[in-house]
């Protein structure tokens, strides 16, 4: 008796269904195994970090509180309130243009207009000095919010720094040298207000404050005025700025904040969108690939988190090294991160965004110390020295090295003047050339950090 066509198709359909069921069971088993194995690896990594004393959540990254009577933050809040007004915002925009090294220097008329505009704010330096006399500074920041933490103090500190630098340059134009040095000293001390804030943006603001103050020093300091006591206080302030461990603290906190992002994304549906807060559609679509908040996407999320921990561990292990060493070890950092590790790519800054900025600020500080010592030597002896080695007594110790070369700064006498420079982040001696007038942009451009006198 023959088998009907209907029966044959039913039999084949049954076989297909059996294969699909077996395939589905295999996928479920592989998925479950991946969740268990990768989840265990993540837990082991986090346990190791805790054992070493590193924070793994944003609740643990806050700097220790300080007594209200010792806190400079309320005084800064008064200053910031004055700088928040629409009228001052317009003034600050003009100050940005006036101090921009990539633009032509302002005309005497432009400086006079700024002078008049700043008259109502002339008491701010005294308020800054009062704030800096306090033992500590802790701004009210909800560190447990992680990437959502609001840091209004950073932008306002930059505004305060621009104000002090402008006032110092105006004092120089009025031949009030001691006041100009005093204002630069106040500006250099501003960085202390956010020294222990455990986020990268605060450290970048510290670097920017140092950079602008050291640039202004080149205009203010002259061989004929460096003997004033205010200049010695400025030189001491330059020597006391310590940027060596700033990025290490910030990166360990950045890792903790990143881990909180993974927790948010994995805890519930829509977590990725909460992190992005309306970010670009392309980014959001890529984030949807990890199936945030679902068990199905958990292996991808765990793999992404492991890639994040590996990348951050690499950077933290090497961030204390100078850029000249990191450039060799981490030149291809991040190229091995798969495209599917979306959160890692979004949250991990490459090393060339970090160490060069820090080392540029360190070079500015070291070069400024040498620069002031050269002017003092000229004021005392009538000529600039043949070598930098003779400046040790004026510096109170060895002449600092260039952080980018690991050896001494390049120094030459030129006629009756001199040129002093660091080789800069491109790690190449460009003969004292600097094509990048503003912040460092391109490793191929000449970027020597230069001090000179004709």
Using the predicted structure, report yes or no on whether residue 292 has a pLDDT greater than 70: no
pLDDT of 352: 74
Strand ranges (E), 59-176 = none
Cβ contact 123:58 at 8 Å: no
Residue among 432, 430, 431, 323 at smallest CA distance from 445: 430
Terminal C-alpha separation, the chain: 112
Kindly report, residue by residue over 239-278, the tens digit of the pLDDT: 999 998 878 888 998 899 888 888 877 775 555 555 555 4
Distance CA 75, CA 136 (A): 12
Domain residue limits, the chain: 68-137+139-241, 248-353
Distance CA 84, CA 155 (A): 10
pLDDT of 167: 95
Distance CA 206, CA 179 (A): 23
CA distances to 34, 320, 364, 402 from 323, in Å: 38, 9, 15, 11
Average pLDDT, the chain: 84
Coil, strand or helix at 382? coil
Kindly report, residue by residue over 329-344, the tens digit of the pLDDT: 666 666 666 766 777 8
Residue among 318, 308, 194 at smallest CA distance from 260: 308
Phi-psi region of 413 (alpha: psi -120 to 50; beta: other; left: phi over 0): beta
* Mean local confidence (pLDDT), 32-50: 90
Task: Specify the pTM.
Answer: 0.86
Coil, strand or helix at 421? strand
Q: Quick one: pLDDT band at residue 438, thresholds 50, 70, 90?
A: very low
Higher pLDDT, 288 or 446: 446
CA distances to 57, 66, 92, 256 from 145, in Å: 10, 20, 30, 11
Query: Percentage of the chain surpassing pLDDT 70?
Result: 83
Tell me phi and psi for residue 324, to 5 degrees. Answer: -60, -25
Using the predicted structure, report yes or no on whether residue 305 has a pLDDT greater than 70: yes
Distance CA 353, CA 280 (A): 22
Distance CA 345, CA 350 (A): 9
Query: Percentage of the chain surpassing pLDDT 90?
Result: 42
pLDDT of 434: 81
Using the predicted structure, report yes or no on whether residue 286 has a pLDDT greater than 80: no
pLDDT of 361: 95
Q: Quick one: pLDDT band at residue 171, thresholds 50, 70, 90?
A: very high
* Mean local confidence (pLDDT), 284-290: 50
Kindly report, residue by residue over 75-100, the tens digit of the pLDDT: 999 999 998 888 898 898 888 888 88
Using the predicted structure, report yes or no on whether residue 224 has a pLDDT greater than 50: yes
């Amino acid at each position: 008796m023959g088998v009907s066509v209907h029966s044959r198709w039913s039999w084949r359909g049954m076989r297909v269904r059996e294969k699909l069921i077996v395939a589905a069971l295999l996928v479920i088993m592989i998925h479950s195994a991946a969740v268990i194995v990768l989840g265990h690896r993540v837990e082991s990594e986090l346990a190791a970090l805790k054992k070493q004393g590193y924070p793994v959540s944003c609740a643990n990254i806050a700097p220790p509180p300080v007594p209200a009577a010792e806190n400079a933050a309320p005084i800064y809040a008064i200053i910031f309130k004055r700088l928040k007004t629409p009228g001052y915002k317009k003034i600050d925009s003009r100050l940005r243009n006036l101090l921009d090294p990539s633009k032509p220097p302002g005309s005497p008329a432009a400086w006079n207009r700024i002078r008049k505009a700043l008259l109502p704010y002339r008491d701010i330096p005294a308020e800054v000095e009062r704030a800096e006399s306090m033992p500590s500074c802790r701004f009210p920041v909800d560190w447990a919010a992680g990437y959502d933490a609001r840091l209004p103090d950073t932008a306002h500190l930059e505004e305060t720094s621009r104000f002090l630098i402008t006032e110092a340059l105006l004092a120089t134009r009025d031949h009030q040298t001691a006041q100009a040095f005093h204002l630069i000293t106040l500006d250099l001390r501003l960085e202390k207000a956010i020294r222990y804030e455990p986020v990268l943006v605060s450290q970048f603001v510290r670097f920017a404050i140092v950079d602008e103050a050291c640039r202004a020093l080149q205009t203010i300091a002259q061989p004929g005025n460096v003997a004033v006591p205010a200049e010695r206080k400025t030189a001491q302030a330059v020597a006391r700025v310590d940027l060596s461990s700033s990025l290490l603290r910030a990166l360990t906190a950045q890792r903790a904040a990143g881990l909180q992002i993974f927790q948010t994304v994995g805890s519930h549906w829509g977590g990725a969108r909460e992190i992005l807060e309306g970010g670009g559609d392309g980014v959001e679509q890529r984030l949807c690939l990890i199936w945030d908040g679902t068990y199905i996407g958990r292996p991808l999320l765990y793999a992404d988190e492991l890639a994040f921990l590996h990348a951050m561990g690499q950077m933290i292990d090497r961030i204390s090294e100078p850029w000249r060493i990191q450039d060799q070890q981490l030149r291809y950092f991040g190229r091995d991160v798969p495209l599917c590790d979306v959160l890692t790519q979004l949250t991990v800054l490459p090393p060339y965004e970090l160490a060069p900025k820090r080392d540029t600020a360190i070079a500015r500080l070291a070069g400024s110390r040498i620069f002031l010592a050269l002017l003092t030597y000229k004021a005392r002896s009538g000529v600039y020295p043949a070598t930098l080695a003779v400046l040790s007594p004026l510096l109170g110790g060895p002449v600092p090295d260039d952080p980018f070369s690991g050896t001494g700064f390049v120094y030459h006498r030129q006629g009756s003047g001199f040129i002093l420079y660091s080789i800069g982040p491109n790690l190449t001696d460009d003969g004292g050339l600097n094509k990048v007038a503003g912040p460092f942009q391109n490793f191929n451009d000449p970027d020597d950090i230069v001090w000179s006198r004709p």
